[in-house]
Structure 1
């Protein structure tokens, strides 16, 4: 009889026993086995007006805010906003409201104000409590932090905490704080300590990873923590410095960037390129523009232009922009540069993984990069080898990095170029 209270179907049926119900409209007995599916079907097929009536009543009846169903839907809505970085105004969008109504006409979307000030705040507090509990149980943590500037020129300091729980790495963004004042080591150090004090982690910090900025390095040391430079950022510096050091490469990069800009700003050129690609039966890939802050975008730009060289040249000639065409000598230099940079792009992707600890890979990867550079005779490869030697000099004597590599069963002593450094690790860990 509980279904009588929940379903409008019972307005037109009477329960005769535990398995049958009688239609009050036509008197027919309909099988009833704990749900109202058959009853609703009977009304839909035989009594359309009565069926339409109960559907109308159902659509007009809203789910109460404190019901378990409404709470579950609202939580899912909050998780969607957070995970997909949706704006709070999504609950006011007509299309979204219509979509939600189609899914469940009884559910009333919370207002933007209530979503912002109540539901998301509660979810944040709940999440923060869970993170705090995890960090309290962690014997030690590692931090990564960076300073960055928003499009509105506001400075931010982001701090991420990394722990290992049940042999699984877990990462938590502790805070993304607006940074006021000058970016001095003292100010940065003070802000880092404020954040770790708030989370009760100051004495648990084993190491901090930052970029190679002098103020960030000094800030970590002032806080009394061990500092490690970001390997991916160091690779970025190696590549950028190497490209600048090869005189013939600089104008090529400028020319390639100009070609990409031309196609990006010309609808006619873009359409023509697509047509030529189809005629040549090659991949219809768009050109890629390089970005100052990401060295690998230079690689992607050159690699794509190399791939699309014939199609791009054809379009430029057809449109009277032959001065932008890449000649044979320039194409050869682009080929050499792409070949030299490819190992660095692969290494950058390798160490950017979020699921696995990468510190033990640093020494073996540097060794592989130096070998790869030596096997190529181009001027770019030579510069890359020199920059690697300068940036990573003495890396095998860094005890923490060397110990991490040696204790990794995949590498042990094989990752070392200098056998003496490997022997030193064997003496430190004789049973490994």
Structure 2
């Protein structure tokens, strides 16, 4: 109870400080006010502390009598309430130590907040609700709250939420007229294969996307299992007649597509030195593979690739246009094809990768960079644009400037397609045309990276078939950035010169 009075101490010597601003003339009963956790706050008002005499004075809310005591001693608070107002004191004690029922609004509110905000939203472990620190925290929040058990969480609350969510999904897809699906299949660090199916639709002029299925795929012969899982999901939501497109990663696994997508010269960045174990947590950040996985990366993705191909063959046998390749995947394959052939910028990139690796592996170098407020971005083996961002921080040389200039729109298109709640189909054609025309303009200006420019043009034409002239509608597309719009306008002017009659 000594901590109750510690809050009222002041640094101003000899002054009298009014702790409570509640008027002494109040006629409200303690039972009608909010429940307080201490007798001082529950039964007294006009609390004043005198630092010179080290004493305090307070007015009882019930009988209006003055109660005095020594600073740091709170027994007088409790003694007066017990002796002169026993019924009110006992009622307060009962309320203070009582618990909410399972259907009490406050109990339901706190329980819902724990489940939805802490466990589901933040991804905290289920064991959180049984830890002593969390139980103490919730008691401080509200002593009357009854902590839920893990058994109740897993057997009652989660199944109820899942059923409610499933009902909401079925209601949503019943309202949709046309639905597009995106299918993805990948392996985790333990080489377990997972299947995900997401549905996309526009309802009331609002773009919506929800996951229909996310589950592991077991067994050696995975193609039939994948097909059965797909068919079961489609039948469960009764959307077979509403499907218009199925977007996949070009019949390949994400890891198979991106694990080799390393900018030439950055190989040494992802190679471990003898002392790299000290920085293993940094190297694993954002990656989907471990050092042990490298031994079997060449086998599992190929197996998964065959599974996806066998799965897609019977689905698209009647309508080849039903399945479309993923735009983000295809544009990264263009980068991969171009960088695999071109070697003009590799020496400069090797120097950058070594400098970047040193900045992330040496504590001394990292501290010096922080002192001058310089940050070198992390490069991710599975995302080429993270390596592009790293090069973008070192653009002091013309060679690297040309490299960054050639890949600027590629990086922008890759980033834009990752945006949430945006129908990315509207940016595909304009962005491809902008990239194509930008490469044509760059080809006439670059001096050191001309081979890279040509190596990017060739796979862009082969993968996307860019052979149509520019129209006028793409130039005003609101989804494009000012950079892309400028490139389109410049390209249009260059492609259609005005000739006098």
TM-score of the superposition, structure 2-length normalised? 0.62
Q: Distance in 2 between matches of 1:57 and 1:387?
A: 77
Tell me the residue number matched to 1:291: 380
* Corresponding position: 1:198 with 2:236: yes
Q: Which moved more, 1:235-244 or 1:183-192?
A: 183-192
Q: Distance in 1 between matches of 2:221 and 2:457?
A: 33
Tell me the residue number matched to 1:391: 463
CA deviations on 1:35-61 (whole Å, 9 max, x unpaired) are 425999671323432388766544422
Q: Which moved more, 1:148-157 or 1:197-206?
A: 197-206
TM-superposed CA distance for 1:221, in Å, is: 4.6
* Corresponding position: 1:43 with 2:24: no
TM-superposed CA distance for 1:79, in Å, is: 0.9
Q: Distance in 2 between matches of 1:262 and 1:198?
A: 53
Tell me the residue number matched to 1:263: 359
**Which residues in structure 2 correspond to 1:192-231 (within 5 Å)?**
192-213=230-251, 215=306, 216=308, 219-224=311-316, 226-231=322-327
Q: 1:382 aligns with which of 454, 458, 478?
A: 454
Q: 1:334 aligns with which of 400, 416, 420?
A: 400
Q: Distance in 1 between matches of 2:342 and 2:100?
A: 68
TM-score of the superposition, structure 1-length normalised? 0.72
Q: 2:428 aligns with which of 330, 353, 362?
A: 362
Q: 1:60 to 1:381 in 2, by over 3 A?
A: farther
Q: Distance in 2 between matches of 1:267 and 1:252?
A: 24
Q: Distance in 2 between matches of 1:394 and 1:217?
A: 26
TM-superposed CA distance for 1:29, in Å, is: 7.8
Tell me the residue number matched to 1:425: none
List alignment gaps of at least 5 residues for structure 1: 1-27, 278-283, 310-330, 419-432
**Which residues in structure 2 correspond to 1:85-104 (within 5 Å)?**
85-104=123-142
**Which has the larger Rg?**
2
Q: 1:74 aligns with which of 97, 101, 111?
A: 111
List alignment gaps of at least 5 residues for structure 2: 1-24, 46-58, 61-76, 82-87, 253-305, 480-484, 493-501
CA deviations on 1:165-210 (whole Å, 9 max, x unpaired) are 2111111111111112357655533332222122222332211111
TM-superposed CA distance for 1:32, in Å, is: 6.6
SS at match of 1:30: coil
* Corresponding position: 1:249 with 2:345: yes
Q: 1:232 aligns with which of 322, 328, 338?
A: 328
Tell me the residue number matched to 1:371: 437
Q: Distance in 2 between matches of 1:43 and 1:375?
A: 81
Tell me the residue number matched to 2:260: none
Tell me the residue number matched to 2:265: none
**How many residues are aligned here?**
352
Q: Is the 8 A contact 1:97 1:109 kept in 2?
A: yes
Q: 1:250 to 1:244 in 2, by over 3 A?
A: farther
SS at match of 2:241: helix
Q: Distance in 2 between matches of 1:166 and 1:368?
A: 31
Q: 1:394 to 1:342 in 2, by over 3 A?
A: closer
TM-superposed CA distance for 1:353, in Å, is: 2.2
SS at match of 2:214: strand
Q: Is the 8 A contact 1:145 1:209 kept in 2?
A: yes
Tell me the residue number matched to 2:391: 302
TM-superposed CA distance for 1:253, in Å, is: 3.7
Q: Distance in 2 between matches of 1:339 and 1:57?
A: 73
Q: Which moved more, 1:126-135 or 1:385-394?
A: 385-394
Q: Distance in 2 between matches of 1:59 and 1:285?
A: 54
Q: Distance in 1 between matches of 2:225 and 2:148?
A: 41
> Cα RMSD (Å) of the superposition?
3.5
Tell me the residue number matched to 1:128: 166
* Corresponding position: 1:142 with 2:180: yes
Q: Distance in 1 between matches of 2:436 and 2:362?
A: 41
Q: Is the 8 A contact 2:35 2:92 kept in 1?
A: no
Q: Which moved more, 1:147-156 or 1:89-98?
A: 89-98
TM-superposed CA distance for 1:352, in Å, is: 2.2
Q: 1:185 to 1:253 in 2, by over 3 A?
A: farther
Q: 1:90 to 1:180 in 2, by over 3 A?
A: same
* Corresponding position: 1:188 with 2:251: no
Tell me the residue number matched to 1:327: none
Q: Distance in 2 between matches of 1:125 and 1:201?
A: 19
TM-superposed CA distance for 1:150, in Å, is: 1.5
TM-superposed CA distance for 1:375, in Å, is: 1.9
Q: Is the 8 A contact 1:244 1:250 kept in 2?
A: no
RCO comparison, higher one (Cα < 8 Å, 6+): 2
Q: Is the 8 A contact 1:257 1:290 kept in 2?
A: no
Q: Distance in 1 between matches of 2:403 and 2:431?
A: 20
SS at match of 1:219: helix
SS at match of 2:44: helix
TM-superposed CA distance for 1:392, in Å, is: 0.9
